Amino acid sequence: MSSEAQVQQAPVTPSFAMLRTLGSIATLSGLLVVLVYHFTLPIIAENQRIAIEKAIFQVVPGAVSRKDFIAVGDRLLPADSEGAQGERIYAAYAADGRLRGVALQAAAQGYQDVIKVLYGYGPECQCIIGMKVLKMAETPGLGDKIASDPGFLRNFEALDAQVDAGGAGLAHPIVTVKHGAKTEPWQIDAISGATVSSKAIGRMLNASAQHLIPLIQRDLALLQHSN
Amino acid sequence: MPTLPNQEEKVTLDTFLRGLWEENPVFVMLLGMCPVLAVTNSVRNALAMGLATTFVLLASGTLVSLLRKLIPKQVRIAAYIVIIATFVTIVDYTIQAISLDLYNALGAFIQLIVVNCIILGRAEAYASKQRLGATLVNGLGMGIGFTFALLCLGAVRELLGNGTLLGLQVFSDQFQPWVVMILPPGGFFVLGAWLLLFAWLRQRRERRLLEQQGASVHGR
């Protein structure tokens, strides 16, 4: 009985008051979020540009400027051309405007999550000239050495990626071999204790290079100069 | 329109210090364990997480306290969550603008500040009943207490797990890092060790207090 009395005594909040309060708070919060979004948008875009350029110039040593292209089917198109949708590749140029190399993205499943890397291809030597891990969740102290181990990174200073005679793929597929068993220039020497992560790198480089490097070699004239 | 009853208290030093020691959100109340365990693998991450949480705590506390007489109690939790989510979004954009590396390192845990029970707990248990001044002082205390706890974990884990502190080499090259310390189990080990230490300190203080009381009773 007492609870009934309490229910009767408690003043009722009009639904309108609840709607009004929630509506005003939502409006206020929307306004704040939009303000901050607009203020930070150019800064974030600039940060992203700097981050990607830093990575490109790291995997293509000696480059100072870049131009984006998109691989559509089996053709390369400038990134600003209309309706171009596909894999983005970055041509990187030296100070004198000559092509130094092309930065490409690759990804494959690692030990814990997908590993994403950016690697540089040098058309002069027809080889991979640099590799940088963009995103990974490999085990700290073991798998994450793929980003920092000097011996492992040395694999990517001149990793053979010649196109075969038909121009449809690589002459020798890129493979990861057991630590210390590297004998050919297209083999990657794995890190001992991080075989899964090392193999993932080999797999993703092979898949990406088999598809993109023949395209780049064929359309090299298009990429050749920065302007 | 029924709102929550006001239980205003005077701002004292205790209002501030409570969050640091007596009611430390991590070591005493065991709140917000998810970010505590997940992002304390380095001092830098711990500091960024602590500061971001402190900012959200202060900003949401300000709005909740200012609007406390206007929010009907039936919809208060929804209103608090919207307010908290707003400031978390602001922090999210701000960290992206400051450093993308830091943003990537903290991952989803920035967005998850929304559901950090320390913040909702403060809004519900304190800001909704107190004046702005008291709310800010108390929120700052709690924020610093939380940051302090994250730093305690982050420092030990980075030092043992990586041999560095704030990225600077502390031990010589011969030091073999205990990788497990920066992995998830290390978070539990270090948290357990700190909890043990704090519980021991508290017990010792209580025992001394009791002894003193006993002595004064006998002395009379």
Question: Per-residue pLDDT tens for A161-171?
Answer: 999 888 888 99
Within 8 A by CB and 6+ apart from A181, the residues are A187, A189
Q: A149: which residues sit within 8 A by CB, 6+ positions away?
A: A191
Which range in A4-18, A62-76, B7-21, B82-96 is most confidently predicted, on average pLDDT? Answer: B82-96
Tell me the per-residue pLDDT of A19-56, one tens digit each, with 9 for 90 and over: 999 999 999 999 999 999 999 999 999 998 898 889 99
Q: What is the 3-state secondary structure of B12-57?
A: CHHHHHHHHCCCCCCCCCCCCHHHHHHCCCCHHHHHHHHHHHHHHH
Using the beta-carbon criterion (under 8 Å), do A47 and B89 form an inter-chain contact? no
- pLDDT at residue A122 tops 60: yes
How confident is the model over A105-109, as a mean pLDDT? 92
Contact (CB<8Å) B94/A135: no
Q: Looking at the partner chain, which of A25, A37, A140 has a beta carbon nearest the beta carbon of B179?
A: A140
Percent of all residues in chain A with a pLDDT value above 70, rounded to a whole number = 94
Band (pLDDT 50/70/90 cuts) for residue B41 is: confident
User: What per-residue string of b and e applies to B134-154 under the rule 16 or more CB within 10 Å gives b?
Assistant: bbbbbbbbbbbbbbbbbbbbb
Q: Which residue of A has its CA nearest to B63?
A: A25
Mean pLDDT for all residues in chain A: 88
pLDDT recorded at residue A97: 86
**Chain B residues touching residue A44 (CB < 8 angstroms):** 93, 96-97, 100
B187-196 exposure pattern, b = at least 16 Cβ within 10 A, e = fewer: bebbbeebee
State whether residue A29 sits within 8 Å of chain B by CB. yes
Compute the average pLDDT of residues A190-199.
Answer: 91
d(Cα A106, Cα B114) in Å, to the nearest integer? Answer: 34
Whether the per-residue pLDDT at A5 is higher than 80: the answer is no
**Cβ(B91)–Cβ(B56) below 8 Å:** yes
Question: For residue A9, what pLDDT is reported?
Answer: 60
Rounded mean pLDDT of A197-201?
94
Q: Which of the residues B71, B160, B178, B181 would you substitute to probe the A interface, choosing the one with the greatest number of A C-beta atoms within 10 Å?
A: B71
**Burial level of B176, CB count in 10 A (0-12/13-18/19+)?**
exposed
pLDDT for residue A7 is more than 60: no
Q: Does residue A40 contact residue B97 with C-beta atoms inside 8 Å?
A: yes
What pLDDT is recorded for position B219? 56
Q: Residue-wise over B12-27: b if at least 16 C-beta within 10 A, else e?
A: eeebbebbbeebbbbb
Could you give the CA distance from residue A167 to residue B153 in angstroms, rounded to a whole number?
56
- What is the Cα–Cα distance from A202 to A109, expressed in whole angstroms? 11
The larger pLDDT score, comparing residue B6 to residue A60, is at A60
Q: Which of A13, A51, A140 sits opposite B74 (nearest CB)?
A: A13
Q: Is the pLDDT of residue B31 over 60?
A: yes
B138 pLDDT band (50/70/90 cuts)?
very high
Q: How far is B214 from chain A (nearest CA, A)?
A: 46
Mean per-residue pLDDT for B1-8? 71
Query: pLDDT value at position B141?
Result: 94
Check if the beta carbon of residue B155 is closer than 8 Å to that of residue B165: yes
Give me the residue label for tokens 């994403």. Answer: A116
Q: What is the separation of C-alpha B86 from the centre of its chain, rounded to a whole number of angstroms?
A: 19
pLDDT tier, A1 (very low <50, low <70, confident <90, very high otherwise): very low
Contact A66, A90 (CB under 8 A): yes
Is A45 near chain B, with CB under 8 Å? no
Report domain extents, chain A.
59-223
